[in-house]
């Protein structure tokens, strides 16, 4: 039976081996500032709806595929959402992307709450005029946030938008 590496050893592997390999890869075309701003402006209302567990509203903006729907409804993530006690005072930052094609990519967003940071890694695709969310990871621990940050290409500076509460 195979034994898995402890989480700390896995993180050290990523930091020691995978990150330098990623850094040595050819330069990637990052979105320009206007495109990055549009991305954070488009996703901010969706993330606000997810945090408020207004999944119907979120699905009207960007439909969730089944695995993503299950992830946002998980008890662990519902507990993370409870950290957002004052949503209107919260800034959402787009800190990295990984573009897989013209209509496929991953975006990493962060937000700070009074209880600490939260990161949202969203894998999306566009088909026609609709953007769908195929996968989402929501984490609150520093080591998990740092590990997620290694999976995207960092923007030169975070691009921000405010999260907002909206009535149901």
* pLDDT tens per residue across span 113-124: 999 999 999 999
19 inside domain:
no
Q: Is the pLDDT of residue 91 over 80?
A: yes
Average pLDDT of the chain to the nearest whole number: 85
- Give the residue numbers spanning the domain of 84: 32-162
- Residue 149 in domain: yes
> Is residue 5 one of the residues assigned to a domain?
no
- Quick check: is 132 in a domain? yes
What is the count of structural domains for the chain?
A: 1
Q: Give the separation between CA 109 and CA 118, rounded to whole angstroms.
A: 8
Asked if the structure places residue 22 within a domain, the reply is no
pLDDT recorded at residue 28 = 59
Pull the structure tokens for residue 120. Answer: 């949202």
Query: Which pLDDT does position 16 carry in this prediction?
Result: 47
Residue of 42, 64, 39 whose CA lies nearest to 54: 64
Is 146 part of any domain? yes
CA-closest candidate to residue 54, choices 70, 68, 73, 71: 73
Which residues, at least 6 apart from 103, have a Cβ–Cβ distance to it below 8 Å? Answer: 125, 126, 127
Distance CA 63, CA 65 (A): 7
Domain harbouring 92, CATH code: 3.10.450
Does 18 fall in a domain? no
With respect to residue 4, please indicate whether it lies within any of the assigned structural domains. Answer: no
pLDDT in tens, 124-164: 999 988 999 999 999 999 999 999 999 999 999 999 999 98
Write the pLDDT tens digit of every residue in 92-114. 999 999 999 888 999 999 999 99
pLDDT tens across 14-26, in order? 444 444 444 444 4
């Amino acid at each position: 039976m195979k034994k898995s590496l402890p989480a700390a050893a896995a993180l050290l592997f990523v930091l020691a081996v995978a990150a330098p390999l990623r850094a040595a890869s050819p330069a990637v075309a990052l979105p320009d500032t206007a495109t990055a701003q549009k991305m954070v402006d488009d996703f901010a209302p969706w993330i606000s709806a997810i945090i408020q567990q207004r999944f119907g509203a979120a699905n009207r903006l960007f439909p969730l595929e089944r695995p993503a729907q299950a992830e946002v409804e998980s008890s662990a993530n519902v507990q993370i959402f409870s950290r957002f006690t004052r949503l209107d005072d919260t800034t959402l930052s787009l800190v990295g992307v990984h573009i897989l094609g013209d209509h496929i990519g991953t975006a990493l967003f962060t937000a700070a709450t009074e209880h600490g940071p939260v990161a949202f890694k969203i894998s999306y695709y566009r088909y026609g005029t609709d953007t769908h969310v195929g996968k989402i990871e929501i984490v609150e621990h520093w080591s998990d946030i740092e590990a997620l940050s290694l999976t995207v290409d960092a923007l030169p500076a975070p691009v921000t938008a405010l999260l907002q509460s909206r009535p149901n």
